[in-house]
Amino acid sequence: MENLWAQSLKRLERIVDMLGLDGGMFKYLSVPRKIQEVAVPVEMDSGKMDVFSGYRVIHSINRGPAKGGIRYHPQVDLDEIKALALLMSLKCAIANLPFGGAKGGVSVDPAKLSARELERLTRRYTFELIPTIGPEKDIPAPDVGTNAQVMAWIMDTYSIDKGYAVPGVVTGKPIALGGSQGREEATSRGCVYCILSALKILNYDKPCITVAVQGFGNVGSYAAMIMHDLGFRVVALSDVYGAIANPKGIDPHKVGQQVKKTGTLDRYPEAESIPRDSLFSVDCDILIPAALENQITGDNAPDIKAKIIAEGANAPTTQEADEILASKDVFIIPDILANSGGVTVSYFEWVQGNYAYFWSKRKVDITLREIMDKAFEEVYSIHKDKKVSMRDAAHQIAVGKIVEAVKLRGIYP
């Protein structure tokens, strides 16, 4: 299987061709503006030193400062970060946010670090990035393996270097440090808003609509809980250790309590334990892949029974799987649309911080709903008018907005 960067470039080239743009524009969009690869030495609790590989890639700044998360995961490498930075550019454009795209990461398993080791790693990684990040330049946020506490350490490290508090250097901060209400579940809530729009526009009407969620991390757990609270029946969940299923329904809030106690949802007493990969073949109406990239492939796509897939994760579906799912008339809400709620509320946090005026959670949720609904309608309109897939429609809109900014600003000098 091609890595994510190679897949992303193929999709980008295809969209550039569909839009009738020249090869020079493809070259411009396929080369990140800035790539940093840094060593991250850390003194471990044992007293020994270890060195981790860190990355930060700025894909574009044509529409505004770069914006993108930081992930801590053992599989992080430069190609993955380049691809995710490109996706962030597209995601910000599809939501019409005044940002370009960036992404960062450290190749590390955070579960194997103590809290103090995690803090030392974060502060050293931040120190290496200080010259290039900032509220008007490049604004990190949480991603896989990172959270509000990690953002607080980044903010503090950057602020100490500058000599004054700079809360705007990151988003996804704790509320006490200038974070936004609703940020933690924003990606999930935005995904659910897209699902609601899809159900309405597709006239999908059943007495009980069933949902399976792959991945029970931040995005997957909140998505499952929100769907459950709205009256949908969650019939299957999975995490890195295993999966559970119950056609009569699972309460994700109770599952979340078990995960806090045991670290996994496997062996949840009110559901059957199933092989992790079996989640994709569970009988359901809606599937939410909310883990890592390349999870839905040519191997498991034929087994998928869901009629709607909402991509809570980044790039969870391969091109081969896309073609199989299209032949089965599966309606896909693509990642750059479905999971853009997180960066949208990060934008709200950035705006609130600039004005030192903070919104209620109700205002955050309402404004997020307005933006997600508008973005969905725009993508669906192109999907119908041009008779292209939802993914191609979303990419055409996003690339078109970036290209417009490139042409208006020009190339200097």
Q: How confident is the model over 49-93, as pLDDT tens digits?
A: 999 999 999 999 999 999 999 999 999 999 999 999 999 999 999
Which of 103, 254, 305, 387 is labelled catalytic?
A: 103
Q: Is residue 411 part of a domain?
A: no
**Do 363 and 378 contact (CB within 8 A), yes or no?**
no
Do 192 and 162 fall into the same domain?
no
Last residue of a domain, one of 277, 299, 333: 333
User: What per-residue confidence (pLDDT) applies to 138?
Assistant: 97
Rounded CA-CA distance 230/47 in Å is 50
Do 110 and 90 fall into the same domain?
yes
Residue 23: pLDDT band by 50, 70, 90 thresholds?
Answer: confident
Q: Is residue 112 part of a domain?
A: yes
Q: Is the pLDDT of residue 1 over 80?
A: no
Q: Is residue 17 part of a domain?
A: no
Do 130 and 232 fall into the same domain?
no
Do 237 and 284 fall into the same domain?
yes
Do 122 and 258 fall into the same domain?
no
The amino acid at residue 256 is G
Q: Is residue 377 part of a domain?
A: no
- The total of structural domains in the chain comes to 2
Do 190 and 324 fall into the same domain?
yes
Q: What is the mean pLDDT of the chain?
A: 95
User: What per-residue confidence (pLDDT) applies to 310?
Assistant: 98
Closest to 399 measured CA to CA, from 48, 35, 33, 13: 13
Last residue of a domain, one of 310, 333, 356: 333
User: What per-residue confidence (pLDDT) applies to 263?
Assistant: 86
Residue 205: pLDDT band by 50, 70, 90 thresholds?
Answer: confident
Q: Is residue 338 part of a domain?
A: no
Q: Is the pLDDT of residue 96 over 90?
A: yes
**Do 100 and 64 contact (CB within 8 A), yes or no?**
yes
Contacts of 229 (CB under 8 A, 6+ apart): none
Q: What is the pTM of this model?
A: 0.93
Last residue of a domain, one of 274, 307, 333: 333
Burial (0-12, 13-18, 19+ Cβ within 10 Å), 363: middle
Whichever domain contains 293, its CATH number is 3.40.50.720
Q: Which domain holds residue 39?
A: 30-174
Rounded CA-CA distance 287/187 in Å is 16
Do 133 and 264 fall into the same domain?
no
User: What per-residue confidence (pLDDT) applies to 386?
Assistant: 96
Burial (0-12, 13-18, 19+ Cβ within 10 Å), 277: middle
Do 169 and 238 fall into the same domain?
no
Q: How far is CA 106 from CA 36, 74, 115, 145, 406, in A?
A: 12, 8, 16, 10, 30
Residue 312, SS3? coil
Residue 266: pLDDT band by 50, 70, 90 thresholds?
Answer: confident
Overall average pLDDT of the 269-289 stretch? 94
Do 142 and 201 fall into the same domain?
no
Residue 175: pLDDT band by 50, 70, 90 thresholds?
Answer: very high
Q: Is residue 370 part of a domain?
A: no
**How many Cβ atoms are within 10 Å of 24's Cβ, its own excluded?**
8
| Residue 47: both structure tokens together | 């007293």
User: What per-residue confidence (pLDDT) applies to 412?
Assistant: 87
For the sheet containing 272-274, what is the strand order?
A: 272-274, 243-245, 233-238, 210-214, 286-289, 308-310, 331-333
User: What per-residue confidence (pLDDT) applies to 256?
Assistant: 94
User: What per-residue confidence (pLDDT) applies to 143?
Assistant: 94
Q: Is residue 407 part of a domain?
A: no
**Do 340 and 67 contact (CB within 8 A), yes or no?**
no
Residues 375-407 as b/e (b if ≥16 CB within 10 A, e otherwise) read bbebbbebbeeeebbbbbbbbbbbbebbbebbe
User: What per-residue confidence (pLDDT) applies to 154?
Assistant: 98
Residue 2: pLDDT band by 50, 70, 90 thresholds?
Answer: confident
**Do 52 and 107 contact (CB within 8 A), yes or no?**
yes
- The answer to whether residue 162 is catalytic is no
Residue 109: pLDDT band by 50, 70, 90 thresholds?
Answer: very high
Whichever domain contains 157, its CATH number is 3.40.50.10860
Do 47 and 81 fall into the same domain?
yes
Do 323 and 224 fall into the same domain?
yes
Overall average pLDDT of the 304-327 stretch? 95
Window from 155-159, 271-275, 375-379 with minimum mean pLDDT = 271-275
Residues in the chain: 413
Overall average pLDDT of the 90-114 stretch? 97
H/E stretch holding 51 reads: strand 49-58
Do 205 and 152 fall into the same domain?
no
Q: How far apart are the first and last CA of the chain?
A: 40
Q: Per-residue pLDDT tens for 370-410?
A: 999 999 999 999 999 999 999 999 999 999 999 999 999 99
**Do 394 and 322 contact (CB within 8 A), yes or no?**
no
∠ CA 97-143-259, nearest 5°, is 135
Q: Is residue 373 part of a domain?
A: no
